[in-house]
Amino acid sequence: MKYTPKLPDTEVNHPSENLLVTALKLMVSLAVIVTLVYWVLLAAVDYTVEHLSVENEKRLMSYVNVDFNLSQAQPNAYLQQVTQKLAECANLPYHVQTYLLDEDTINAFAVPGGKIVVTRGMLEHLKNENELASVIGHELGHFKHRDHLKGLGKSLVLGVLSMIVAENYGTAFATTLQVSDARYSQSQELAADLFGVDVLACAYGGVKDAYTLFMRMDKGKRWKYFLASHPDFHKRVVTIRKYIQQKGYRTDNKVIPLASF
């Protein structure tokens, strides 16, 4: 067979698609892959945690260093009374102790090991015991859903993926992981809100003032919550209202004044 030479294809170095478009497609594809891997790994973490025995949970938490010194807070009989009332409905496998922290910030948080801390600033911002119960019920929701353990798994997943992405692609896809992490954390907070509504209805016979605190704290500027660990207050109010309607909970139960603290 006779060889017939010919010139190379002149289109080899001139692709039909714009190189910028090709690069953009590759970046979007990689962002989607990173997001999918992140959510698949989180689903695996959640499944493992939800099927972990109470004994193994306690064993794991005994190795965790909590970044909060409880000596800064003091046990409070009134807070404990409200907590116990709600805990009977929460059906947790361990006792929960609630502490009062003498700080002006408006905050409440769950500490791994069955501890809840409520600041004096939060108590001074509340209008009645019903609102206090919704706050404590939310924190009980974190214990019920084992969010402290899921948080440890999430931190590990996020750390490993961030290292891999940064090492191979710089920081270009860091925002992708931040957005995914924010969505996951916000979903946990909303789930804790709804659990708080459930135990409020159980313990108080209704859900009066289940979301009034969030209404007062809603200052707009919802764009600020895009990468935040908590959803914006408006979204929380809307979600809780819809949930109350779906569950048919009473909203005309008695309003109980705050006791002295």
For residue 169, what pLDDT is reported? 62
**Rounded CA separation 28/38 (Å):** 15
**Rounded CA separation 145/50 (Å):** 8
For residue 75, what pLDDT is reported? 93
For residue 2, what pLDDT is reported? 65
| Maximum Cα interatomic distance, the chain, rounded to a whole number of Å | 103
Instruction: Answer whether residue 205 is part of any domain.
Output: yes
Name the residue among 195, 157, 133 with its Cα closest to residue 46. 157
Instruction: Answer whether residue 193 is part of any domain.
Output: yes
* pLDDT band of 103, cuts 50, 70, 90: very high
For residue 227, what pLDDT is reported? 64
Its sign, for the CA torsion 135, 136, 140, 143, is positive
Q: How many domains does one find in the chain?
A: 1
For residue 245, what pLDDT is reported? 97
Q: pLDDT tens for residues 43-88?
A: 888 888 888 887 877 777 766 666 666 778 899 999 999 999 999 9
User: Is residue 240 scored above 80 in pLDDT?
Assistant: yes
E strand intervals along 140-206: none
DSSP output for 153-183 = HHHHHHHHHHHHHHHHHTTTTHHHHHHHHHH
Q: Where in the sequence is the domain holding 200, given as residue range(s)?
A: 66-147+170-247
Instruction: Answer whether residue 184 is part of any domain.
Output: yes
Instruction: Answer whether residue 46 is part of any domain.
Output: no
Average pLDDT for 194-221: 93
For residue 57, what pLDDT is reported? 77
Instruction: Answer whether residue 179 is part of any domain.
Output: yes
User: Is residue 208 scored above 90 in pLDDT?
Assistant: yes
Instruction: Answer whether residue 87 is part of any domain.
Output: yes
* pLDDT band of 7, cuts 50, 70, 90: low
Instruction: Answer whether residue 34 is part of any domain.
Output: no
